Structure 1
Amino acid sequence: MASDKPAQEAPFGTTVLGEEPVRQWAEWNPTEESVLPVRGRHRVAKQRNGLARSSTVLGVGVIAAVGAGGMATAQSKPPISITLPDVITDNLPDATSLPGVGSLVSHDEKNAEPDFAAMAADAPLTTAGLTSEDAEQGTTDAGEALRARILQQAEQQQTAADTAQQVAAEAAAAEKAQEQAKQQQDAAEKKAEEAKKKAEEEAKKKEEAERLAKLAASFSLPVASYTLTSTFGEAGSMWSSGYHTGLDFAAPTGTPIKAIHGGTVLSAGWSGSYGYRTVLELDDGTELWICHQSSMTVTAGQKVTTGELIGRVGATGNVTGPHLHLEVHTPDGTGIDPMAWLRSNGLNP
């Protein structure tokens, strides 16, 4: 306690109400004479282990003063008996084992005032909040342990952020690489397709050239020396149909006419405006009309081969001069352009 003597009671008066006196409390203004000086060992101690004890001494003094006043008031009230069950009292821990209490109960002098400043300095305040893991690592200061945990958590968060950023960067790089690979693959496929198409076109051209060359060996122009004067489809009044139906090879009278391709002679004779005409049927049913001949060397039903002599150039029929008039008819009798037909068979008139 802060003092051996109880604090003085505040003065009060009595007033008779009926037969029993009633106390009336008056305001108590303590003075220097009414308040005894606080005895004991409370003092402002020097810092120990970096803690100032002045605040501890001040707090203990305030608690002592308030406690003294409370005790003075409580002296006028009857005591109350309090009992505790054995199950509670038997299980209470030893007071000496409690932090900061052992020095209070184990003091040598029975009535001596406890050294609260020393107890505050000796209490293991810095060990509060320490975990077993901290203790294993040799940490004895709770603040330092908390600081270490905060730094560790911040480091873990930073590591997680860096990892997430790295994963995102790697994913973006992988996506970009995949896109570039796809573009390269598409470009390669397009190039390969173009090369394939070009190769196919070249193969077709080569095949067509070979076919034409083969046909050229089996087809031949009707005359060796000539001049083309009129082509298929030309309009004019001198043709009964209103347009030219064949291809004209102008050449001197008597120029040899050869079979363009092997076939069978369907007819050979006079044919009005066509003059002397020979009709040669090929194996596919195509008919070749050789007209305006001065003479013919074949007869109907005769088989001829490519380049065989079949007649000579003349000016018979409806003509303005000696020439060979050639017409080409399909198996159904339709007349087509002789120039296109000759070219399709490897000839270039």
Structure 2
Amino acid sequence: MASNKPAPTAPFETDFFGDEVAERAWEEWNPTEDSVRPVRGRHRVMKQRGGLARSSTVLGVGVIAAVGAGGMATAQSKPPVSISLPDSIADNLPDAKSLPGVSSFMSDDSSDADAGNTAPLTSATLAADTGSKAEAQGSAGEALRARILQQADQQRAEADAEAKADAEKLAAEKAAAEAKAQQTAAEAKAEAEKLAAEKAAAEKAEAERLAKLAASYALPTSSYTITSTFGEAGSMWSSGYHTGLDFAAPTGTPLKAVHSGTVKSAGWSGSYGYRTVLELEDGTELWYCHQSSMSVSVGQKVSTGETIGRVGATGNVTGPHLHLEVHTASGTGIDPMAWLRDKGLTV
């Protein structure tokens, strides 16, 4: 192991890089605050790993870094400090040029490119870098803010457009519904008017028809009282119900032809008494029963309102009256009152 004793004085001393220089006068160097300039920039001594940081190597590296960064010119005027290390440590020491923050001081290349690459960082550099980063961050933030505002404006515009479209759609649907309702109401009104017009026309046509029929039809007697109607049930009728319409009137009251036709029969007919059968052009038969006298004969043609007999009480009766029956062409008896009213007559 090497000795830690001071090395013998040599006629020549070496500089920091190992070159011999002329012997200088030795004088004690006591660093003070005024003699040692503070280290500026980013010159740092990286922490060594592998156990070296715990040896005296740290001291040597620190001294080298301090001298290189703070004042090499001042250090050169001071006597060198002899540093002795054990052989086991000295053999394992790394090359000074490989140490971070020191290689720039050990380089022989003085080119502008390397000098620019290895130049120490200063507070101005840090401020410039910080300002550049802040400016970049500010630009990025402004861009992000502008993008967010643009997206918000776009979303707001889309929402407004959608709301406007919905409002227009609702307005169109409302207008269409109102138009449809108006159209439906107009159609209903037109249909009601049409039905009313058709009804009025039908009523008018029916009135004209009845008026025309009334002109060609007449009641069998002008002075009467309805005492029995068609279909009444009772034991006094052999069929069990009344088969005609009874016009009660004094005996001898004239009986008229309801419509023009031909006398089919005239004479006695049992319970009907004296009966006259008048056949119309469509085959309908009118039976005039219980007459006191007859004014026509078989085959005679008569016209509407012509007298064909007189009221009487012959046959099965309880008093003078005209028993009128109406039979269709097939012989079926129908209600005389309904038949007379269908001809426009008021009974």
TM range (shorter): 0.5 to 0.7
Unaligned runs of 5+ in 1: 13-24, 42-67, 76-103, 130-139
**Distance change >3 Å, CA 242–CA 30, structure 1 → 2:** same
Q: How does 1:9-24 map to 2 (within 5 A)?
A: none
Offset, 1:292: 1.2
The match for 1:81 is none
Structural RMSD (CA): 3.8
Find the aligned partners of 1:228 and 1:8 in 2 and give their Cα distance: 143
The match for 2:145 is 147
C-alpha contact 2:244 2:326 (8 A) present in aligned 1: yes
> Which of residues 284, 291, 294 in structure 2 aligns to 1:293?
291
**Secondary structure in 1 matching 2:262:** strand
Give the letter aligned to residue 121 of structure 1: A
The match for 2:62 is 35
- Deviations along 1:138-178, one digit per CA (max 9) or x if unpaired, are xx944333322321222112111221222122222322332
**Distance change >3 Å, CA 163–CA 74, structure 1 → 2:** closer
- The worse-fitting range, judged by mean Cα deviation, of 316-325 and 329-338 is 316-325
Select the structure of larger CA radius of gyration: 2
Offset, 1:335: 0.6
Q: Does 1:177 align with 2:178?
A: no
Find the aligned partners of 1:259 and 1:197 in 2 and give their Cα distance: 39
The match for 1:89 is none
Find the aligned partners of 2:117 and 2:233 in 1 and give their Cα distance: 151
Q: Does 1:164 align with 2:147?
A: no
Offset, 1:212: 1.0
**Distance change >3 Å, CA 73–CA 242, structure 1 → 2:** closer
The number of residue pairs the alignment matches comes to: 271
Find the aligned partners of 1:9 and 1:339 in 2 and give their Cα distance: 139
Offset, 1:217: 0.7
Offset, 1:26: 7.0
The match for 2:262 is 264
> Which of residues 325, 328, 331 in structure 1 aligns to 2:329?
331
**Distance change >3 Å, CA 114–CA 258, structure 1 → 2:** same
Q: How does 1:218-297 map to 2 (within 5 A)?
A: 218-297=216-295
Offset, 1:301: 1.1
> Which of residues 99, 110, 121 in structure 2 aligns to 1:72?
99
Between the two proteins, what is the percent identity of the paired residues? 62
**Distance change >3 Å, CA 147–CA 345, structure 1 → 2:** same
- Deviations along 1:252-287, one digit per CA (max 9) or x if unpaired, are 111111110011111111111111111111111110
TM-score under structure 1 length normalisation: 0.66
Ranked by relative contact order (alpha carbons within 8 Å, sequence separation 6 or more), the top structure is 2
Offset, 1:230: 1.5
Unaligned runs of 5+ in 2: 1-40, 71-94, 103-111
Find the aligned partners of 2:241 and 2:117 in 1 and give their Cα distance: 152
Give the letter aligned to residue 287 of structure 1: E
- Deviations along 1:284-330, one digit per CA (max 9) or x if unpaired, are 11100011111111111111110011111111112222111100001
